Amino acid sequence: MAHFGVLGPLAIEGPPGHWVALRGDRQRTLLAVLLLNANQHVHVDVLVEALWPERPPKSYASNLHTYLSRLRERIGGLRVEHGPLGYRLCVEPRELDLLVFRSAVADGQRAGDAVAAAGHYRRALAQWRGPVLAGQHVPRLDADVARLESERLAVFEDCVDAELTAGRHGELTGELQAMITEHPLRERLAAQLMIALHRAGRQGDSLEIYRRLRTTLIDELGVEPGAEVRRVHAAVLRGEDPVPRMPPPVWPVCQLPPDIADFTGRDTELAELTAELGSGAGVPLAVLSGEPGAGKSTLAVRAAHRLRARFPDGQLYVPLGGRDIGEVLADLLRALGVPGPAVPDDVRARAAVFRGRLTDRRVLVVLDDAGDPEHVRALLPGTPGCAVLVTSRQRLSGLAGAHRLALGPLSDAEAAELLNRLAGARVVRERADAGRIIAACARLPLALRIAGSRLAIRPHLRLGELADRLEDEVRRLDELTVSDLAVRSSIALSHEGLRPPTRRAFRLLGRCRLVDLPAWAVTTLIGEPDADEAVEELVEASLLEAREPDPTGEGRYRMHDLVRLYAAEGPAEEGGAATVLAATLALADAAAARLPRTVPMPAVAHEPFPQPLPGFLVERLLERPDEWFAAERANLVRLIGTLGAREALLLLDKLSVYLYLHGHYADMRAAYETVLAATDDRPAAAIAEANLALLRHARGQYEEAASAYRECAKELEAHGDHRTHAWVSANLAHCLIGLGRAEEALHTARGLSTMDGQSEALLVREAESAALLRLGRVAEAREVDLLALASARAGGDPRRIGTALHGFAWSSLLTGDSGEAVTAIAESVELLRGTMARSALAKSLRTLGAISAATGARARATAAFEEARDLARDLDERPRELSCTRAIAASWIGEGRASQAIPVLRACLDEFREMGGKPATGLTWLVLSRACEAVGDEEGAAEAAAEAAGLADPRDASAAALRRALLALTEPAGQPAGRSLR
């Protein structure tokens, strides 16, 4: 391998005594850049900028490859690696004068006496043949060249200190006079020359050096000499010897703060940090960022203590926090044994000496609360063996090659453990109130530590009382203060560093109470041309969290609760909140129109919503309306609580299309209860009550639902809302059928005035047919179903046709036309599978199971019941889930697993009785009697049979058909049902 020189003109020596000349300027430039960054990856962008400072050619990539190929041809054994991070020239320490220089400097810094140190420093300085890359100007390397020249000067001064200490002042005078002529403002050189002259008996000359230095500093900079030069001057005046002494070795050094005893959680993050920083590859750099109060510094200290064994030379802890980087470096150099006079004045020179002190050492550097990537770069070690851990409120995106870890809130379990450690065992006893405190603290360690400390200080303070205070958003930040800990001041530090436009955006976002916001809503809310820049600054400052794109492809942003409260304290700002609201209402309206309306209630009439967003954006967002609702579901539910009654009801009507379709009944119930509590508008309240009754109905709370339906029907009739009244009455009829009150259901259904073209007509006919079947009037029911089917087919809607086919299939079975029943229910299931109406599909699958069981297709029956049960469970439709579970348990009896069926049937029985559904309860007793009989429990079988007979209605054709289907399933496979229970 060749030997290279950069400390002077670029030099390449092949075999000893044979020098290689490079023909082209760009080849020399390329080699110079790689050598100054030897054994480190150099990004392609850096190389391109160095080779073509003004404008690179379009073929720069191929040109770069050509130059590298020619370098390899000219220089035998040249090792240049290429990877994702760029190009790296691999050289051994002895093959490059710069590496030899730094190795010798490190030896001098480790030396235990002045003579040995001076020898190493002289060996280092001997590597310099002139200015760095003399005769070659590469603008991209100007900063590197200046840094190396400062490093050389600092080493020369270290060498002079060592030789003065060793008593070699005589031969230093001429060399120092030449250097002070070249660097007339260098106070450390002047002090050294004064010492050498004084030791040589030339006190007057020594004082003259001080006079000239002072005059030059005052004339050119307007400042007096520094403290060290004045100290030497005073010593010379007194005739004393001011020669510096070599400091003792400082290694190892540990500056870490103590690790706190009640540190909790963060196991995953600790493992990630220790693995990254302890890898031993290069100089690992980890940046730990996160919102104020996330516990970044505490985690960094814990990780640093865990890594002490891997860094035996020491652990440096540097609290940055807005401090001047020059002062930071000066403190570090003094801590590493550099005497005051030896600390350079120039910041870059101090950084060079700092790197020199860490050369070949294994030191962990912890930089706490960094705010400027440039400050971090100044404190990075230059050689492998060291590692750097940075904490910052910002992401410090400008630090290339850093491993980033964003620290979020604690998990619920970790938060509870931390609160328990701080406040004691009563946290476990008052678990519910502890959960409220944790939620109010947003699971942030700082807030939890403050809350826990307040509880520890006041052992008689009930957790519920503190939770009540913290849940008051107006006073929450005031409550989260104890001693010198305060959440507000922690957030304020991040806020103060924002630009004024970003502060305005911060306040606007803080007053928006939604869970998270899509990117379009954020920029619309801010309403300024530079909104994107403000958002990026907030994300960088960890005051706004950028999240993964939602299913519509829109990026999401979230502001955590405590940060939002701080932002909302600022003055109100004019922004685009009204535009965001208008766009959201219009999007919800358009998305609902693209989904099937399966909720059995009419849409609320309203004027069209104007859409302020551009058409292309609306189309992209609503390309899959189901996914848009899924992404915005939590936002829309929360938004409903902030609107007026009319707007809230309109938005909820649109949202209910999605919620009911997917069985999100809890959200639907909470939203309608919110509307009901906030409105004095009786028609609106009646609609909200009717929807709440519908949800009770879906959960099997038949009595409560029926009572609510009746009250709503009266209210709607009184207000002249005949259409909603018809829907509510039809739902009431279905509810009465579930209660076993078929006559009343039929009377209600036939009392409705409907037309074939109206969407509620099918619901009414379903209720009428079901009531007729319960009363044994099968032929009349089939006529109703035929009319409903004809009307649905005329309309052409697959969902309505599938629903009508379901009713027709069941009445066909009861009239003895099993072939027609099988065909119709198969078509119903097939049609409904092609729609999003999963509730209707579950209903048809359940009927497919019953018809299949009744016609001897046992395997098909059980498969249909299982699929229907799973769908009903997903949709939280408990009555249908229970009826399918009962049928599956019946099939277990036929498979010889009656003992497994009995506890399942008893659980179904308990729920059916609680719901008040007499037909369903009677059928469950019937199947239970067969299960008891199969296990030899004659007494249990007789009791169950008697209960079933007591609830049976001899007119109920539907129950009779279901009875036959269930009994068929209880028979051993291959045998028809040959028994009945009276």
Give the position of tokens 């870890």.
405
Which pLDDT does position 805 carry in this prediction?
94
Which pLDDT does position 487 carry in this prediction?
83
CA distance 838 to 834: 10
Q: What is the pLDDT of residues 355-392, one digit of tens each?
A: 888 888 899 999 998 888 888 998 999 888 899 999 98
Q: What is the pLDDT of residues 786-833, one digit of tens each?
A: 988 988 898 888 999 999 999 999 999 999 899 999 999 999 999 999
CA angle 208, 212, 218 (to 5 degrees): 145
Task: Give the tokens for residue 659.
Answer: 């919620």
Out of 16-25, 325-334, 491-500, which region has the weakest mean confidence (pLDDT)? Answer: 16-25
When pLDDT is cut at 50, 70 and 90, the band that residue 939 belongs to is very high
Q: What is the pLDDT of residues 24-57, one digit of tens each?
A: 888 888 889 898 988 888 888 888 888 888 888 8
CA distance 116 to 5: 25
Q: What is the pLDDT of residues 261-274, one digit of tens each?
A: 888 888 899 999 99
Give the position of tokens 């980890």.
286
Which pLDDT does position 124 carry in this prediction?
93
Q: What is the pLDDT of residues 448-467, one digit of tens each?
A: 888 888 888 888 888 988 88
Percent of the chain at pLDDT above 70?
96
Which pLDDT does position 315 carry in this prediction?
92
Task: Give the tokens for residue 277.
Answer: 């920083």
570 pLDDT above the threshold of 80: no
When pLDDT is cut at 50, 70 and 90, the band that residue 975 belongs to is low
Which pLDDT does position 619 carry in this prediction?
93
Which pLDDT does position 354 carry in this prediction?
87
In Å, what is the CA distance from 75 to each residue of 11, 80, 165, 717?
A: 12, 11, 44, 97
Give mean pLDDT, residues 480-507: 83
141 pLDDT above the threshold of 60: yes
Task: Give the tokens for residue 934.
Answer: 């199969």
979 pLDDT above the threshold of 50: no
* Rounded (10°) CA dihedral 868, 873, 876, 882: 70
Which pLDDT does position 305 carry in this prediction?
93
645 near 675, Cβ under 8 Å? yes
381 upstream amide cis, omega within 30 of 0: no
Task: Give the tokens for residue 267.
Answer: 């196991």
**DSSP conformation class of 110:** H
Which pLDDT does position 422 carry in this prediction?
87
In Å, what is the CA distance from 713 to each residue of 390, 767, 789, 954?
A: 66, 16, 27, 32
CA distance 199 to 243: 9
Mean pLDDT, the chain, integer: 87
When pLDDT is cut at 50, 70 and 90, the band that residue 348 belongs to is confident
586 near 636, Cβ under 8 Å? no
Give the position of tokens 């309505």.
800
| Secondary structure class of 38 (helix, strand, coil) | coil
- Measured N-to-C along each axis, helices 798-814 and 957-970 cross at an angle, to the nearest 10 degrees, of 80
Which pLDDT does position 46 carry in this prediction?
87
- Please, where are the H alpha helices in 166-241? 173-182, 187-199, 203-221, 227-237
22 near 78, Cβ under 8 Å? no
596 near 661, Cβ under 8 Å? yes
Q: What is the pLDDT of residues 706-764, one digit of tens each?
A: 999 999 988 888 888 888 888 888 889 889 888 888 888 888 888 775 544 455 677 88
Phi, psi of 907 (to 5 degrees): -65, -40
Give mean pLDDT, residues 79-105: 88
β-bridge mates for residue 289, sequence order:
392, 406
When pLDDT is cut at 50, 70 and 90, the band that residue 80 belongs to is confident
Q: What 3 state SS string does 859-927 have?
A: HHHHHHHHHHHHHHHHHCCHHHHHHHHHHHHHHHHHCCCHHHHHHHHHHHHHHHHHHCCHHHHHHHHHH
In Å, what is the CA distance from 845 to each residue of 68, 448, 781?
A: 70, 51, 21
